[in-house]
Amino acid sequence: MNNSNYSKAFENRTVLVTGAEGFIGSHLVDLLVEAGAHVRAFTHYKPYAEKGFLAAYQEHPQVTLLTGDIRDSGCVLDAVEGTSHVFHLAALIGIPYSYTAPEAYVQTNVTGTHNVLMACRRFNSRMIHTSTSEVYGTARYAPIDEVHPLQPQSPYSASKIAADMLVQSYWNSFEAEVAICRPFNTFGPRQSARAIIPSVLQQLHGGAKEIRLGSLTPTRDFTFATDTARGFMAIGASRETNGQVLNLGTGNEIAIGALVEKLIEVSGSNARILVEEARIRPEKSEVHRLISDNTEVRRLTGWEPQVTLSEGLQLTSDWIKDNLSAANTSSYAT
């Protein structure tokens, strides 16, 4: 299925995106609108009514902005009713905070996901659930395919494993139309400075001469944001993905040290890297290697990444240079 085909699958459809104001969610909203969908953009309620990256859609005829909380089942039911597809991206993300507040991750990522599942089952909506490559932990073999053992190396990854299992149980028990999208590390414009790429680029464009890091050797598989968003749409458009867990990644890896060297280059900086022991994760919690095997998603949907790492890093660097004060620091979105 090529890009145009899975875009056409959403024309004139009413779809819900939870976590719509977040990094990946907002890019997904953009692509769904381009595809002709009527999008319900579900965002976490904030008393100051800031719409962030969805501000341009406040008067848009194809977009309805909804506020609420996925931990509230009634709120979720109202949002899901009448939709053909639900892209569930809302989550409490970030590994470090999960050590401090693990219960909050269970409430949002597990109970919240169950609320979405129940609503989708009730209204026969197709659910595309967001997992994470963190559920694999440190690779026992590479590249990592979807049958790789799951290893909860943080409360965050444990909560996502639990949510994934709930989604699969609804397929096995009720034949609910569900699919699990498991992105590896996504990057690009709009990403919170919690993540390494925007964090380093903000420092570089702010004039930093030293970049302080933890371990330089862990590797990651980075996918550009629009490619990840297209992957969600490809999975949602194909019923062959029902009941499946599908990796979204490029199949290429880069060590953190080498990545930061690239960031220094694309930003035009002459900063140097310093390693700080205090920034190194506990050994049993560190994920040393993540690289995806994306064979299944390619086979079932025809999806493949279109933006190279170098192209994506340059685009991201340029965006951050122009938007130094626009970083979204919220952790309640994907």
Q: What is the C-alpha separation between 223 and 201, in angstroms, rounded?
A: 17
pLDDT at residue 313, as a whole number: 98
- pLDDT band of residue 41 (cuts 50, 70, 90) is very high
pLDDT at residue 285, as a whole number: 57
pLDDT at residue 289, as a whole number: 82
- pLDDT band of residue 284 (cuts 50, 70, 90) is low
pLDDT at residue 96, as a whole number: 87
| 222-247: average pLDDT | 97
pLDDT at 83 > cutoff 80: yes
| Average pLDDT value for the chain | 92
Determine contact, residues 232/88, Cβ cutoff 8 Å: no
Domains in the chain with CATH codes: 3-190+224-251+291-306 (3.40.50.720)
For residue 122, the surrounding DSSP H or E stretch is helix 112-123
For the chain, what is the largest distance between any 2 Cα atoms, rounded to a whole number of angstroms? Answer: 57
Coil, strand or helix: which one is 67?
A: strand
pLDDT at residue 286, as a whole number: 62
Determine contact, residues 245/182, Cβ cutoff 8 Å: yes
pLDDT at residue 328, as a whole number: 42
pLDDT at residue 333, as a whole number: 42
pLDDT at residue 268, as a whole number: 95
| 103-125: average pLDDT | 98
pLDDT at 27 > cutoff 50: yes
| 30-44: average pLDDT | 97
Which has the minimum average pLDDT: 49-63, 158-172, 240-254? 49-63
Q: Where are the beta strands (DSSP E) in the chain?
A: 14-18, 38-44, 63-68, 85-88, 126-130, 178-183, 185-187, 210-213, 219-220, 222-224, 245-248, 254-255, 272-275
pLDDT at 332 > cutoff 50: no
- Percent of the chain past pLDDT 70, that is, above it, reads 91
pLDDT at residue 329, as a whole number: 43
Q: What is the C-alpha separation between 58 and 51, in angstroms, rounded?
A: 8
- 77 closest CA partner among 91, 86, 26: 86
| 171-185: average pLDDT | 97
In the numeric block, which tokens belong to residue 41? 């953009």
In the numeric block, which tokens belong to residue 138? 């440190």
Q: What is the C-alpha separation between 33 and 21, in angstroms, rounded?
A: 14
pLDDT at residue 48, as a whole number: 64
| 175-189: average pLDDT | 97
- Percent of the chain past pLDDT 90, that is, above it, reads 80
pLDDT at 330 > cutoff 50: no
pLDDT at 322 > cutoff 70: yes
